[in-house]
Structure 1
Amino acid sequence: MMMLKRILRTSNMRCFTTSLSRNGSGIISANKELSMADEPINLEISDLHPKQKITLHSAVRSSNSALFECFSHYIANENGRIFLDKHESCGGYYKGIEPMGPLSFMRPSNLNKRKHERFLIKDPTKTFKVDFRVFDGFLEDTSQQNRFDTEPHLSITRTYMAEGVKEYPIWQGNVRASLYIPSGNGPFPGVISMSGGYPGAMKYKAALLASHGFASLALKYYGEDDLNQELLFTDVGYIEEAVNFMINHPMVDGTNGIGFSVNCYGATVALAAASVLPKGRIRCIASTNGWPFPYGIIHYKGERLAPNFPPRLNIYPGENGVQNFEFRYCFDTSNFEAVKDISLQFFNQHQISYLFVVGSDDGYFPSAFLCDVTKSLLEDANHPDYDMIYLEGAGHLIEHSYYPLAAVALTWNELHFTGGRQPFHSLAQINSWPKILSFLYSKLRTRVS
């Protein structure tokens, strides 16, 4: 036992020891006490009986104190050890070898006051803790109501801001945002981050981008401060002002223009800006489950950029007050010229590179269908530089790696079914997030003549 502890310390594994509920004792070890929110960690469990059945429980709290947790079942090897990167979970919230399963497969807890919650860290300057506990035997979430009576076996800290990243509130001209600058001398490639139906800005995305070396602006475009309170009325002139702010900032390398990392309606707004802003302003756009047709009013210099073509809306009653929405656009998709007439004209901007990330199980919009339409538009325009990542089983809210799935989310004060199925959604995030980062970095660092 002393030798085991010495080995763990030498390999930078951090561990605690407590008693299990009936027999044995357990040590949970992690190779890092502090890690980024999108960073994998190594987890091990030792000091168990040979072939002992245990439940690994993980828990974290969102900014609104909502609890997210995961239960997984493991059987120790002949030496009384479990390595999550080698051993299979045989039950609980996931099965198979999932090294980061205790984080990726978290769900809103049945102990929450509200059934449906979305994991959000609203202030990325604050770290958050993930607690791990081991219980003897195979337990389900409903059978261990006193699971928090004991101290955690292990607590690790996760963060959205790497060491040296700085946050600056921006209230300049009409721009309302938070700017995140990486450590170092700069200048850095610049990215604007915009969300969809969430009012204000989801700052954690911009903070995470800054932690990967981008000067990142979490741009509010409706719903907070003195901005328009309606999502479906957007002035692209405001986006242009934000772009110019980034290009002219001394810590931003704006020589080649800036990039966008956007999702949902934020992606539509970014594509609208790509359609009309002068060349050299926007270099690339990474769009996650966005679409090329405004269903609200988007205008620039007093002119609407495309007709408002609202989808036909079908509402299917769901369980516990959840509304299942199905949107369909009312046009003949086989007529590409007609589609162009009602689409934003981003596909004509050949100097802008595009990456479209699409979830097949998007319950909020038919993103897979819109992906096909977008691809047809780009092909018809002979656009030279675009890519599409089609993610089987992923829902609407595709986030960074190891982010809990939110299959239902509160939007416009209503519960909406946003979709996604495990384990596909988790795998989609792990696969797509590095590709988004690579896309942004390669395009913003590549000079265009």
Structure 2
Amino acid sequence: MMLQASKVRQLCPNYFSSGNIQMMMTSASKDVQVSVTPASCLHDESVQIRAEGLAPNQDVTLYCSMKDTRNVHYLSIAHYKADDSGQVDVNTMESLGGSYASLFPMGLIGTLHPAPSEYKFTRFFKRDVVNPNILELSVYDGHLTEEEVCAPECQKPLASTQHERHYMGPGVQRIPVRYGKVRGTLFLPAGEGPFPGVVDMFGTAGGLLEYRSAQLASRGIASLALAFFAYDDLPKSLEEFNISYFEEAVEFLLKHEKILKPNVGAVGVSKGGDLVLSLATHIPEVKAGVWINGCNANVQSAFNLRDSVFPGLEFDLGKVKIEDGVMDCFETVNNPADYPETIIPIEKADANFLFLVGNADRNWKSVMYCDQAIERLKKAGRNNYEVHRYDLGHLARPPYSPFCISSYHKLISGPILWGGVAKPHICAQEEAWETTLAFLFKNLTNMKGKL
């Protein structure tokens, strides 16, 4: 069963107790307080942020900051005017400026971005999912800029508090995987199981990313975060793929005593999206595929099947546009319709598909790729799919991950444009996450799951 947020706190009150997070009062006035409720929670949960004890109609700046595992400093600010009772409630009041404006309850967390002193094209990666993100929230007198808040001579905050956001819920297990050639990490939900299982994949950044798998497990879905290049003893570059590697990953999942038999799902974003389509098409045990801003063709690298090879859809780097030092690669991937030999024959899949499409994706033409995939299924008389279109950029992640419109990409050795606008992107991630969980539970357990 999926762990509801309220149930987690009921079963493990000490883990998410506000007593674990102590209020730090740093101002001369002990009457001012800033609070986050709950003080500690799972990363996909929303919170309520308040400042109290202020002067009526006082102008204040709310400041949120945290550091990632590389010690990069991220921050966000928002300008508010206290009400007649001297209170600011972020859930009901509009920001007057800063990192965002208007009513945006999770804006302080969702708009966290590199501080002025950091390289601005830095993308937040959570490598250490065992430990939570620790955020500090402060309230300052007046409407300050980011530079003013970060300056050494800046006034002390009127009040501060800390807030913890956990990727792994109580009882979730993290198990490094070296099974045959398979490299990754398995995340198991708390309890005896069995649990629905998925293979979780990312894109051309390579390596191993675990944060989505940790969050899936915290919601009752066992997830194998699967590396497929640039990790451990795997190939260092995207040269080619072999179906046998992914078959071995599925075999590993289904051999585990806590995985619900006889089928699994697959989740993937970007390059991981077309891998999802390939797994669902060519591996009979994969019955549910979540495609996130991917392609309908096999992109870049040859994909070796048992008795044939799918060539990779290539890039035309001459179509790269550069503006303000950022590469816009929207036009670079060739149109799959012009290279039908690269298109994945998803109409042959004995699986259900969920297509999560970012209308604001500026990295790939995800809208076009999805339309081509659906057209292919319709022509074959298939109705085994759902399509959900959102105002998302390319980097569609579980809720409240710091929004990133562009960042450095090591494959191209420069900053790349991902697309999206902060508020609609962050809000869309909430709905897309609920849709993903519901789809996986429905298709792997016939249960409906939601946050």
Q: Same fold (TM over 0.5)?
A: yes
* Structure-2 residue corresponding to 1:131: 136
* Structure-2 residue corresponding to 1:4: none
Alpha-carbon separation, structure 1, partners of 2:200 and 2:250: 11
* Structure-1 residue corresponding to 2:7: none
Q: Which amino acid aligns with 2:396?
A: I
Is this contact kept in 1: 2:129–2:214, CA < 8 A?
yes
C-alpha root-mean-square deviation of aligned residues, in Å? 2.3
Alpha-carbon separation, structure 2, partners of 1:232 and 1:408: 26
Q: Is the counterpart of residue 244 in structure 1 residue 246 in structure 2?
A: no
Of residues 257-266 and 268-277 in structure 1, the stretch that sits farther from structure 2 once superposed is: 268-277
Aligned runs of 1:322-401 on 2, under 5 Å? 322-327=326-331, 330=334, 333=337, 341-349=341-349, 351-392=350-391, 394-401=392-399
Q: Which amino acid aligns with 1:119?
A: F
* Structure-2 residue corresponding to 1:287: 291
Counterpart among 295, 301, 304 of residue 296 in structure 1: 301
**More strand by percentage:** 1
Aligned runs of 1:7-406 on 2, under 5 Å? 16=23, 18=25, 26-112=32-118, 114-146=119-151, 150=156, 153-255=160-262, 257-277=263-283, 279=284, 281-294=285-298, 295-305=300-310, 307-313=311-317, 314-319=319-324, 321-327=325-331, 330=334, 333=337, 341-349=341-349, 351-392=350-391, 394-406=392-404
The alignment partner of 1:373 has SS state of helix
The alignment partner of 2:229 has SS state of coil
Q: Which amino acid aligns with 1:367?
A: S
TM-aligned CA distance change 1:198 to 1:328, over 3 Å? closer
| % same residue | 26
Q: Which amino acid aligns with 1:233?
A: E
Q: Which amino acid aligns with 1:276?
A: H
Alpha-carbon separation, structure 1, partners of 2:113 and 2:403: 7
Deviation at 1:129, TM superposition (A): 0.4
Unaligned runs of 5+ in 1: 1-10
| Number of residue-to-residue matches in the alignment | 424
Is this contact kept in 1: 2:104–2:423, CA < 8 A?
no
Alpha-carbon separation, structure 1, partners of 2:296 and 2:38: 42
Alpha-carbon separation, structure 2, partners of 1:215 and 1:191: 6
TM-aligned CA distance change 1:323 to 1:401, over 3 Å? same
Alpha-carbon separation, structure 1, partners of 2:143 and 2:27: 12
Deviating 4+ runs (over 2 angstroms): 11-21, 23-26, 142-152, 326-333, 338-342
Alpha-carbon separation, structure 2, partners of 1:158 and 1:330: 40
Is this contact kept in 1: 2:18–2:40, CA < 8 A?
no
The alignment partner of 1:164 has SS state of coil
Alpha-carbon separation, structure 1, partners of 2:209 and 2:192: 26
Is this contact kept in 2: 1:15–1:29, CA < 8 A?
no
* Structure-2 residue corresponding to 1:435: 435
Is this contact kept in 1: 2:336–2:343, CA < 8 A?
no
TM-aligned CA distance change 1:348 to 1:141, over 3 Å? same
Deviation at 1:179, TM superposition (A): 0.7
Is this contact kept in 2: 1:326–1:366, CA < 8 A?
yes
TM-aligned CA distance change 1:170 to 1:363, over 3 Å? same
Alpha-carbon separation, structure 2, partners of 1:204 and 1:395: 19
The alignment partner of 2:33 has SS state of strand
Q: Deviations over 1:318-372 (max 9, x none)?
A: 32x4222133555585xxxx775441112321x3111111112212111122122
TM-score (norm 2): 0.88
TM-score (norm 1): 0.89
Alpha-carbon separation, structure 2, partners of 1:299 and 1:292: 17
Aligned runs of 1:396-435 on 2, under 5 Å? 396-411=394-409, 412=411, 413-435=413-435
* Structure-1 residue corresponding to 2:4: none
Deviation at 1:247, TM superposition (A): 1.3
Alpha-carbon separation, structure 1, partners of 2:369 and 2:216: 27
Deviation at 1:43, TM superposition (A): 1.4
Q: Deviations over 1:265-300 (max 9, x none)?
A: 1111221122222x3x00101111011112321111
Alpha-carbon separation, structure 2, partners of 1:396 and 1:189: 27
Q: Deviations over 1:213-249 (max 9, x none)?
A: 1111011111111112222411111001101111121
Alpha-carbon separation, structure 2, partners of 1:429 and 1:170: 29
Deviation at 1:25, TM superposition (A): 5.1
TM-aligned CA distance change 1:30 to 1:171, over 3 Å? same
